[in-house]
Amino acid sequence: MDTTDTRLVLKAAAFLILTAISIPANIFVCIAFLQTLVTEGKLMTADIILCHLAFANLMVALVRSIPQTMAAFGSKDMFDDDGCKMAIFCFRVFRGLSISLTCLLSTYQAVLVSPATSRLAPLKSKIPEYLMHIIFILYVMNCVSYSNTLLNSVASFPNNTIPLYTFNLQFCFITYPTYIDFISGGLTKFFSDLLFIVLMAIMSGYILVVLYRHGKRVRSLRSSESSQSGARAEVKASRAVVTLVTLYCLFFGVDNIIYLYSLTVLRVALLLSDIRVFFATLYTSVCPVVVIITNPKVKIKTKMKKQNVEGQFTGTTTSAL
């Protein structure tokens, strides 16, 4: 097996694993929160954000991970021009939603743990009150921001000649008429992402500072068991949010370092392109796993499902005897 065949096999295996994890995991998270909504009649603010985040990650997996996996296995001509426009548009929109919702989640958690004297304290009631308006604005903002993708995406070129200033996704192409359009489009995307990254990093740093001060105060004061229990739940939620932000920043770093490099060359090596796409979609698999492990409502659904499976297995075994 030569180097090219090895790269294709590894690429196919990597994207297949990502797809096999991200789609069922995100569906499970969405269903868990929807079941909670039906049984309890409401969802907490953070849970609503997580539910939309899981949906956004699910859509990224459907419109990017699946085509990328099929392309890795040698599938060609999956889309016509209209199909490419919609697939890439949906990927950009839901990827943008993924980063903006993660930013919203870290901001809300920072507000939630902030002391009553903090300048963030007034937002504790404002964010839940206007949450659906904020999420709607994020959807609209990302749709408008990436509408130019509908003009620049194609399935193929005459004579199979790929022009300059084109991103080859291997199942579709994003092409720009001039170098100025190529650079400006890339830098606009990069800095819009960077704005959210910086904000969520600042909020995560603030959360860590508050948790550190809170830990010192708890060690010096005796608290009731109920207040300790509430504090522990808040700390666990905060740590989960900080974990998500840290992972996103890591994946964002690798993705965008390669993306910035691709803006400086006429042809990007396929290996670098594959690595970039892998890290661009990796969050869709890791995020729901973190939520399943750390979120109490989702963990309860996981335990209930295990108990049902074990009960069915035991019942089947008994009847067979």
pLDDT at res. 318: 33
Is residue 304, in this structure, part of any structural domain at all? no
Is residue 57, in this structure, part of any structural domain at all? yes
Distant-in-sequence contacts of 130-134, Cβ < 8 A, 24+ apart:
131/45, 131/48, 131/49, 132/48, 134/104
pLDDT at res. 226: 46
Provide the domain count of the chain: 1
Residue whose C-alpha is closest to residue 34's, from 269, 298, 251: 298
Structural domain harbouring 118: 3-299
Is residue 180, in this structure, part of any structural domain at all? yes
Is residue 306, in this structure, part of any structural domain at all? no
Residue type (1 letter), 19:
T
Is residue 56, in this structure, part of any structural domain at all? yes
Is residue 278, in this structure, part of any structural domain at all? yes
Contact yes or no for 90/65 (Cβ under 8 A): no
Is residue 67, in this structure, part of any structural domain at all? yes
Is residue 14, in this structure, part of any structural domain at all? yes
Whether 213 shows a pLDDT value over 70: the answer reads yes
- Looking up residue 219, the CATH number of its domain turns out to be 1.20.1070.10
Say what the pTM is. Answer: 0.86
Q: Which residues contact 263 (CB under 8 A, 6 or more apart)?
A: 182, 183, 186, 187
Confidence tier at 231 by pLDDT (50, 70, 90): low
Task: Tally the residues of the chain.
Answer: 321
For the chain, percent of residues with pLDDT exceeding 90:
33
The mean per-residue pLDDT over the stretch 251-259 comes to 85
Most confident of 24-33, 221-230, 303-312: 24-33
Whether 93 shows a pLDDT value over 60: the answer reads yes
